[in-house]
Each structure stands twice: as structure tokens, then as C-alpha cells.
Amino acid sequence: MADAQKSMEYFYAHLFVLSPEIRALFPFAMDDVRARVFQALARLIWSLDSPQYCAAYLQQLGKDHRKFGVREKHHQAFFDALLVTVEHFSGIDWTAQTKAAWETALDYAKAEMVAAASADAGRQPGWWVGEIVRHDRRTDSIAVLTIRPDQPLSYAAGQYLSVQVMRWPRVWRNFSVANAPRLSGLLDLHVRAVPGGMVSNALVHHVGAGDTVLLGQARGEMTVPDPPLRDLVCVAGGTGLAPIKAIIESVTGATSYGPRRNITAFVGARRPEDLYDMRDLRVLQSAYRSLVVIPVVSDDPAFEGTKGLLPDIVSRHASLESSDVFICGPDDMVRETERVLAGRVPADRIHRDSLDAARGSGRQELSR
């Protein structure tokens, strides 16, 4: 923990000597990989005293790693190298008892990951090939992509999936699906090109209809029961609108067999021109009279609608206490919205994906 970079450099050097074929599973540039793997390992070790959570995390890791081409033999080499690394950095604190404890923990982790990957392989592929059937540039830096997977890809509204572009092999980034599941199987992604973002810039500026991408399995906990239990307040900053829009679609489409829920959606941007999906949102609003869409702009005093920061605007909403709240967008906005709502909305009614989990899965370029 004292020197994450140095420990991960040592670990990967040992791993690639121990099993040279594993190097082909990783991208050429390793800095980001080393940081994310260290975060995942730290999260794993600190969760060992929570068996249910730890098992679920390991099982998800095992399934996720199928898209990288990881096999059972690779797990053994990985954990052998990890044990050597921990011993090296423990120095004089390394004892027979410490070694036995680490061996037990790592054997458990390997068994959970391998079993989960094997079971998952019997249910679905490790990745999908997706054809881009539509590429719609909404602004200079935002595009909406419609993608057709080559096989059915199951997900729930509000979840995200990982994407790899042909331009950057073995580099995966996570993006939220922006629509509720469709009979056609088509997926919409809202992508903002971020500075230095290899995958996001490729998706916005360098692909078009007919190009293909690889898609990983859907993940994420920010979903809504079917049918929903309460009215909804949705807070979306920037392209954080993607999972919020999917959730709205899923709720508005469930009215034929469940109660009709009121939905208030706050959609924030710095400038009016960054409200890139208002046309679609107005169509949803016209079709579902219990949906109210409130665009909020923070940096343009001339904007004729609601002006200000999303957390401040949301905190004034009248019916928060009786609603489930879904939040997605920049980390600071999500944290501040949670803070201002903490005294009014029970914690179990505030929904967002874990920010730490998001970073651990490489979500630097996620559309949220």
C-alpha cells in the first residue's frame, strides 16, 4: 500500500517472466492497467472480512476477465506472482503464518473466479461483436451510437458495458446503455470524447456506420424494480443522462401492468448547446404525461430556463421524501447531490453506481 506503482511494476515484471504468453492479453501501455489492478487487489483484500460481498466481487471479476481471453492457467500464474510480490514487499514481516494466510486467501480468490468464469461460459459469450448501425454527432464532442450485437446481450436499464475499438486493441472502457432493452436488441451509447481518452475519442471522431466494436458483459447496480416501487426523481449531469434515459424508458414502458409512477428528470449541462438529447426527452415526455423533464444550465446567465448547479436545484424539489432518487454524472456532482439529499431521503432510496467500483473497472471514459 505504501508504493502502489513500485509494487505493481515488480508484480508484472515477475508475472511476464513466469508466464510470457500472458503479456499478449494486455495493452502495450501498462500504466493505467497497473493502477486499476492495484485498486482491485486492495478492494479484494479489504473485503475478505465480508464473505458475501467478497464472493460476489470475485465472481464478477472472474466473469469480466473472460473478455480479455483469460483462461484457468492464467489465474494460477497471476496469483503465484502476487504471492511472490507480497513476500518481497513484506520484508522482515513475512513469516510462515503470514505466508499461510496469504496462500489461503489467494487460493480462495482463484477458486471463486475460476468457478464463476466456467459457469458463465455455459450461459453467454465472453464478448460480443457489435456493428455500428448509426453514428449521430450531437455536438463537437458528443456522439450517440446505435449498435447491433451479433448475439443477444442481456442487460437491465441503468447498467453499463465495456467497449473495445479496433483502433486500440485490448483497451476496454465502460459506457452506459442509453435505452431500455428492445426486441431488436439494438443498444444506444452516449459518448463524450474526453481529453486523452483513447476509446471515447475513437467512438466520437473515428468510427461510423458499418464499423465494428467489441462489447463486454453488462454490469451495474443502478437499476429500478419492475414495476417500480415509488415515484422517481432522476438527476443526470452531461452524458450521465445515458443510464437515466434507459431507466425512464423502462418505467414508462411498464405502465400496462403496473402503477403509473411520476418521474421528474433534472438534466444538467454547462451550456444550452450541451443539452444534446432534449428532442428525444421531449418525445418521451409527450408520450408519458407523468414525466417532467427540467433542463438545468449552470454557465449561461442568458438561458431562459432553470439556471444553477444541479445539486442546488434538486434539493428544492418538493416530493423527494416519497421518491427513489437516481443520480448519474460527474463524480463531484454525484457526491454533492447525495450530500444535500442526505437529510431528506433515506440512504436506501438514493441510487448510483459505486464510484470506487467504477474506477476499478476502468470507467475513466464512462458516459456518466
What span, in angstroms and rounded, lies between the C-alpha atoms of 123 and 66? 12
The whole-number average pLDDT for the span 176-197 is: 96
What span, in angstroms and rounded, lies between the C-alpha atoms of 105 and 112? 11
User: At which residue does the C-alpha cell 479496433 appear?
Assistant: 166
| C-beta of residue 157 within 8 angstroms of C-beta of residue 246 | yes
pLDDT band at residue 186 under the 50/70/90 scheme: very high
Q: Decide which of 317 and 98 is more confident.
A: 98
Name the amino acid, one letter, at 62: G
Q: What share of the chain is helix, strand, coil (3-state, %, to 5)?
A: 45, 20, 35
What span, in angstroms and rounded, lies between the C-alpha atoms of 37 and 45? 12
Query: Does the structure show a pLDDT above 60 at 355?
Result: no
Helices (H) and strands (E) in the chain, counts: 11, 12
Q: List 232's β-bridge partners, or say none.
A: 263, 324
| C-beta of residue 235 within 8 angstroms of C-beta of residue 337 | yes
Query: Does the structure show a pLDDT above 70 at 89?
Result: yes
Q: What is the per-residue pLDDT across 327-342, written as a single tens digit (0 to 9) for each? A: 999 999 999 999 999 9
pLDDT of residue 358: 41
**Domains within the chain, CATH numbers bracketed:** 4-121 (1.10.490.10), 128-219 (2.40.30.10), 231-352 (3.40.50.80)
- Give the angle subtended at the CA of 309 by the CAs of 305 and 314, to the nearest 5°: 85
pLDDT of residue 349: 93
pLDDT of residue 366: 38
Burial of residue 315 (number of CB atoms within 10 Å: 0-12, 13-18, 19+): middle
Query: Does the structure show a pLDDT above 60 at 364?
Result: no
What span, in angstroms and rounded, lies between the C-alpha atoms of 11 and 81? 6
pLDDT of residue 361: 32
Burial of residue 1 (number of CB atoms within 10 Å: 0-12, 13-18, 19+): exposed
Cα separations in angstroms, 4 against 31, 40, 98, 143: 11, 12, 20, 36
Alpha helix locations (H) across the chain? Answer: 4-18, 31-46, 51-64, 72-90, 96-121, 198-205, 241-252, 278-287, 310-315, 331-341, 355-360
The whole-number average pLDDT for the span 194-213 is: 96
Q: What is the per-residue pLDDT across 224-245, written as a single tens digit (0 to 9) for each? A: 987 788 999 999 999 999 999 9
pLDDT of residue 317: 86
Name the amino acid, one letter, at 119: A
Q: Which helix (H) or strand (E) is 324 found in, with range?
A: strand 323-328
Torsion from C-alpha of 221, 149, 360, 334, nearest 10 degrees: -50
Handedness of CA 210, 212, 216, 219 (dihedral sign): negative
What span, in angstroms and rounded, lies between the C-alpha atoms of 142 and 205? 9
pLDDT band at residue 2 under the 50/70/90 scheme: confident
Percentage of residues in the chain with pLDDT exceeding 90? Answer: 79
The whole-number average pLDDT for the span 213-218 is: 96
- Give the angle subtended at the CA of 105 by the CAs of 31 and 54, to the nearest 5°: 75
pLDDT of residue 228: 84
| C-beta of residue 238 within 8 angstroms of C-beta of residue 269 | yes
pLDDT of residue 343: 84
Q: Which three cell numbers stand for residue 94?
A: 513475512
Q: What is the per-residue pLDDT across 246-289, written as a single tens digit (0 to 9) for each? A: 999 999 987 666 678 999 999 999 999 999 999 999 999 999 99
Question: How many Cα atoms sit within 13 Å of 34 on the Cβ side?
Answer: 16
Query: Does the structure show a pLDDT above 70 at 368?
Result: no
Distance of CA 43 to the CA centre of its chain: 17
Q: What is the per-residue pLDDT across 148-165, written as a single tens digit (0 to 9) for each? A: 999 999 999 999 999 999
pLDDT band at residue 199 under the 50/70/90 scheme: very high
| C-beta of residue 186 within 8 angstroms of C-beta of residue 146 | yes
Q: What is the per-residue pLDDT across 64-88, written as a single tens digit (0 to 9) for each? A: 999 999 988 899 999 999 999 999 9
Q: What is the per-residue pLDDT across 37-54, written as a single tens digit (0 to 9) for each? A: 898 888 888 898 999 999
pLDDT of residue 229: 86
pTM over 0.85: yes
Q: Decide which of 319 and 351 is more confident.
A: 351
What span, in angstroms and rounded, lies between the C-alpha atoms of 10 and 363? 25
